[in-house]
Amino acid sequence: MSVVAVATLRAQTGVGPQVVSHVFGLRKAFEDGTADAEEEVEGGKWLASNEGSMWLLEQTDRMVEAIGGGDGSTFAPGYQAPPKAKL
C-alpha cells in the first residue's frame, strides 16, 4: 500500500511533503515491526532502506518521463500563476 501511495504522489507535482511523509512512514513500519504484523513482505525491508526508497522514486520518475514524453506529470500539475493582464 505504501509503494502505491509513494508512487502516486511522486507522479504528481506540488505534494512533496506528502511523498516524504509516506517514505518515512514505510521506513518506520519496518523499523518498529508494524509492517510485519500480518505477514512478511518479501523485499519490504530493502524497499524501506535508503537504496530501496531511492529506487522507488527513480522508477516512478522514469515512468512519468516515459508516459509524459519528457513534459512531466499532467495528472495533477502544480500551481501555475495566471498570466498577467496586459494593459
CB 30 within 8 A of CB 79: no
> What is the domain partition of the chain in residue ranges?
2-68
- What pTM value is reported for the model? 0.70
Instruction: Report pLDDT for 79.
Output: 47
Cell of 79: 500551481
- Would you state the pLDDT for residue 50? 93
Residue-wise pLDDT for 37-61, tens only, equals: 667 778 888 989 999 999 998 998 8
Q: What is the pLDDT of residue 46?
A: 92
